[in-house]
Structure formats: C-alpha cells, structure tokens
Amino acid sequence: MKSILFSIGLSLLTVGAFAQKQKKENVNKEPYPLGNPVITHMYTADASPHVMPDGRVWMVTSVDHEDGGGYSTMHAYHTFSSSDMKNWVDHGEILHINDIIPENTTENEKDWALWAPDMIYKDGLYYLYYPVRILDNVASEKAGKRIVTSYIAVAVSDSPTKRFRVVNPKIEGTKGIDPAVFIDDDGEMYLYWGEHMAAKLADNMIELASKPVKLEVGTKRFMEAVWMNKVGEEYHISYHTKYDWKIKITKDNYLDPDRKKSELSYSVGKSPMGPFTYAGTLNYELGTNVNNGPKSPNGPYVPWFQTQSNHGGIVEFHGQEYLFYHTSALSSWRQDKFEGPGTWTQRSVCIDKLNYDKGNKIIPVQQTIEGVNSVKVKQSFEQSLKLKKAKIEGRVKLVDNAILEVNGQANVSFEKVNLGTGYYYFDLKTLEAAAYAIEIRLDSTEGELLGTIKLDDKSKERNKGVASCFLRDAKGKRIVYLVFKSKEGNKKPLQIKDLRFFAGTPLKVNTI
C-alpha cells in the first residue's frame, strides 16, 4: 500500500488545519534537560490518558513528523504507559496511515492524516477511536480552496502494545475530528467529537446508539479538542478555544487582555449530554507563568510561548488528577538549546497537576518545567470479595459458598472492603448469563455509584465469560453493595462467581 504525499501548490495553511512549516533543523542532540515534556525521544501530541486494567496509566498519542511539515504529516499513533506518572515506556506504533488508506488510492490524489485519538478498554478489548482527515488535492486545486472530509473510525486490539485492526472504517453519523469516549457510572457510553457533537455509543463499541446532537457549551469560543470528565456529580466538558492565530506573540502583546488567547476552557453540566454552562479556564496559553524556565530573546517568557493550539486530556491516579497537554518545548531545545525564539513546529506531551477549589471549580493548571512527582502505590493489585461473608437480600442465594445465583432484584453487601488509594476496575465470571445491570455502590443500596456492569444473554460467550466495568472514586475502607437489577422481560437466572476489585496497583509492562 502506498503512502500518500502532499504535493499540491495551493496555499492551505489555515487555523485548525496545519501547523507552521519547519523553520529550523533539529540539530541539537544533547539530552533534554527538563522534566516536561515527558516523552523526549520523539514528538508526541494530543495525549488521551486512561488507567487501564493493569493499573498503569496509558496514553495514546498522535505523532508529529521529525522533519516538521505541519499537521498533514501526522501519520501514526503510539501508546505509552507509566506506573508512577513520571517514567514512561514507549510501546511502539499501533496504527499507521497505511493501515487505513484504500488499496486503489492514487498517489498524491488525496492527503490522508491521523489526528487526535482516544483509546479505552471494555471486556477484554481495547478500542481506538481516531479521526480520518482527508484533503482532496485534485478537488481543492479546482475549487481554489480546501476540500476536506473528516470522520471518526474505530480499531481494536486485545492489547495496547499490539497493532490495532480497523473494525469500523467510518462511524455513520460522525463528521469532524478529535474523538473522546466517556463511560458514565451507570454504564452508559458516550462519544464526543468535532464541534461539540455527541451521541451514545452502542454496546458493540463501534456504532452510535443515538442520533448525534450539538451540545450547548455556553460559549462561542469552542474550537476543538473536546474531553469529558466527571467531578463529583458534575460533568466537566473541556475544549480548546478559538484564538487570534495570526497575531505573533511579542513582549508588547503577550499579556494583552484584548487578544483572544489560545487556552483550554471548560463548561459544567448535570448530564453527559448537557446543557453546559461556561465555567472558566482550565489551562492558560502555553508558556504562561512558567517558573524557572529559559527566557526567549523576544520577551520575558519561555521560548515555547507561541501562538499555537492545544489538546487536553484528564486522568485521576490514586487521589490526584492530572492534565495532559502539549507544548513545543522539546523542539525549541533541539533546534537551538532555547537560545532562539522557538518555533511552533513539533509538539510534545506535558503533564501537570489539576486541582479544584472547595466548590469543585478548576484552579487553572500551573504549567511547569519540572513535571509531576513520582507516585508510589503500596497496596495489592486486587481485592477479591468473599461470598461466604456476604450479606444477601432479595431473590438471590449462595451456592457452595462460591457462586451467586440471582433470580430477580437483589442486593449483596460486603463489610470493611479496603479500597486503599483507589481500585479502577471490577469484574466477575459469568456461569449462566442473563440480562442484568449490576451496580457497584458504597455504604448503601443508594450510596455512591462507582460503576455498573451490564450483562445480557450472551455475556457468557464474550471474553471467556468475564465482564467488567471501570470504577470512579473506589477508595477508602467502605461497605460495598452490589445492586442487581433485572432488565425488563428477563426470566433467566444469573450465576456469577470470582467477584473482585482490581487494578489497584500498577503491574510491570510485560504482564499485558
């Protein structure tokens, strides 16, 4: 299969479409001296972070070309993982543009690119959601303007370290870039993309289950890079803002309050589908208020203080939330050791702490050159629930002290379960499948909902009968309640065993 090269003479440099062309060579080979960015052997952008079933934080990233060339040269995705938020392992390329371009594509006819992705886990499989962006060179030349098609596709793998296989080359109903997936505590899954579009994801993970809608986000400055995060009972939708991209940063205007700045902002709602109310700034313009950093010859700020877009991703890891974003600090170092003004060419993922005030309002992130401290986790990987010590109520019985048989609405509780600083997944083995929702709650049958396992008649056939769900805020020594809700029309009994919390501590990278 041929790689597709951009060779059209038409000027196509516009905001949100291309980065600036490379202006300097990457001649400096000395080791990068700072803690941010976190990946320094290659250029990475658009990080999507999640805690995966091995207890490690994983991110999938876009890849900027070593020689620059702008967004049109973004042709691959890499995965990285960390056990401590400080040290990262590169697991290699998982998808390339050549994996998706049709065999019969004529070279130079169209320019294909892979932009900001997302990756999540569900029931034994990893799903990669990625935007396919196609510039039609021939049509663009004829029209005298860019003719671009973009949509969301899905690839799958049984490991984030392996190549992904395309399972849906185009999700019907999607138009745009920057997909992000959110799984709510009730088990409902949502796909966000483009200009604040959203829809429910089907149970098969590769199709939409509802009609796409354009969300109300409470501001006209939304540009791209949507991300969903739940904080308590609130839903925070974050995004990159529209900005004055044609204005070059100088010592005279970098603090100008009238200049529309390139920031990450967020809005707050009571539902994953909104409506949302604008709530403020998540991350100021890149390079703002960076302490102890090198200074640009053009002004009292770091060399990577550039007019550039950004992309944020948020993850919680053992009691602390973190913002993943990107800067051009690494390319500024590799071009001239920070001695020049820097150029907005290639990007690299940075990580800093994300904190909130007492009202759950975001305190704008303090960008640092040091990055974050190493996280040490001292607890077991899993916590198995002992059924013989469980308290059962409703239409449920215990078989041989090892199997729960459920025949309708039921509650099962476990005393003094020590969830420590956090367990991120819950799973069980299905022996006899039936249509149930199993809510994992704290302290009562109506207590805090951590996550929900959804079962159907075929659950026994998938993933060797093991069903799981992601957990939010599963920590501390608590009473755990499993609330069984039989779906309407279900008359089958459910049999399950081997109930456990897991992903409580990060495993070594060779365990996946």
**What single string gives the DSSP state of each residue in 36-63?**
SSS--SSEEEEEEEEE-TTS-EEEEEEE
For the chain, give the percent of residues with pLDDT over 90: 84
Same domain, 483 and 355: no
The answer to whether residue 169 sits within a structural domain is yes
Same domain, 285 and 424: no
Say if residue 5 is exposed, middle or buried (CB neighbours under 10 Å; 0-12, 13-18, 19+).
exposed
Pair 339, 295: CB distance under 8 Å: no
* Confidence bin at 304 (pLDDT 50/70/90): very high
Which is more confidently placed, 374 or 511?
Answer: 374
3-state class of 282 per DSSP? strand
**38-47, 330-339, 425-434 — which is least confidently predicted?**
330-339
The answer to whether residue 399 sits within a structural domain is yes
**331-345, 393-407, 461-475, 479-493 — which is least confidently predicted?**
331-345
Same domain, 256 and 185: yes
Residue 152 token pair: 């969301």
Residue 305 token pair: 């203080």
The answer for 280, left when phi > 0, alpha when psi is -120 to 50, beta otherwise, is left
pLDDT of 161 above 90:
yes
* Confidence bin at 306 (pLDDT 50/70/90): confident
pTM above 0.75, yes or no: yes
311 vs 240: CA distance, rounded Å: 6
The answer to whether residue 448 sits within a structural domain is yes
**How many structural domains compose the chain?**
2
Q: Read off the CATH number of the domain in which 497 is found.
A: 2.60.120.260
Same domain, 326 and 405: no
Q: What is the pLDDT of residue 340?
A: 83
Domain boundary among 329, 363, 397: 363
The answer to whether residue 8 sits within a structural domain is no
Pair 424, 504: CB distance under 8 Å: yes
Pair 72, 135: CB distance under 8 Å: yes
The answer to whether residue 37 sits within a structural domain is no
Q: What is the pLDDT of residue 494?
A: 97
Same domain, 402 and 283: no
Domain boundary among 306, 330, 363: 363
3-state class of 169 per DSSP? coil
The answer to whether residue 221 sits within a structural domain is yes
The answer to whether residue 274 sits within a structural domain is yes
114 vs 135: CA distance, rounded Å: 12
Q: Read off the CATH number of the domain in which 246 is found.
A: 2.115.10.20
Nearest residue to 375 via CA among 51, 48, 27: 51
Total H helices, total E strands in the chain:
2, 30
Q: What is the pLDDT of residue 23?
A: 62
What single letter denotes the amino acid at residue 413? S
Same domain, 398 and 477: yes
3-state class of 143 per DSSP? helix
- pLDDT tens per residue across span 447-458: 999 999 999 999
Same domain, 347 and 395: no
* Confidence bin at 509 (pLDDT 50/70/90): confident
Same domain, 238 and 354: yes
Which is more confidently placed, 7 or 331?
Answer: 331
What is the residue whose two structure tokens read 């956090």? 422
Domain boundary among 333, 363, 393: 363
- pLDDT tens per residue across span 56-106: 999 999 999 988 878 888 999 999 999 999 999 999 999 999 999 988 887
Same domain, 184 and 268: yes
Pair 84, 376: CB distance under 8 Å: yes
Q: What is the pLDDT of residue 452?
A: 99
pLDDT of 2 above 60:
no
Which residues does 332 contact at the CB level (< 8 Å), separation at least 6?
303, 304, 338, 340, 342, 343
Which is more confidently placed, 309 or 16?
Answer: 309
pLDDT of 20 above 50:
no
Residue 287 token pair: 């390079």
Same domain, 198 and 251: yes
Same domain, 110 and 197: yes
**11-25, 205-219, 369-383 — which is least confidently predicted?**
11-25
Residue 404 token pair: 């729960």
- pLDDT tens per residue across span 34-61: 999 999 999 999 999 999 999 999 999 9
**DSSP-assigned letters across all residues of 62-102:** EEE-TT---GGG--EEEEEEESSSSS-EEEEEEEEGGGTS-
What is the residue whose two structure tokens read 């900027």? 64
The answer for 465, left when phi > 0, alpha when psi is -120 to 50, beta otherwise, is left
Q: What is the pLDDT of residue 14?
A: 37
Same domain, 352 and 317: yes
155 vs 163: CA distance, rounded Å: 9
Nearest residue to 272 via CA among 386, 389, 160, 187: 187
**187-191, 259-263, 321-325 — which is least confidently predicted?**
259-263
Average pLDDT over residues 258-268: 96
Q: Which residues span the domain enclosing 399?
A: 382-511
Which is more confidently placed, 197 or 109?
Answer: 197
51 vs 475: CA distance, rounded Å: 15
* Confidence bin at 290 (pLDDT 50/70/90): very high
Query: What is the residue-averaged pLDDT of the chain?
Result: 93
The answer to whether residue 496 sits within a structural domain is yes
* Confidence bin at 367 (pLDDT 50/70/90): very high
pLDDT of 15 above 60:
no
* Confidence bin at 22 (pLDDT 50/70/90): low
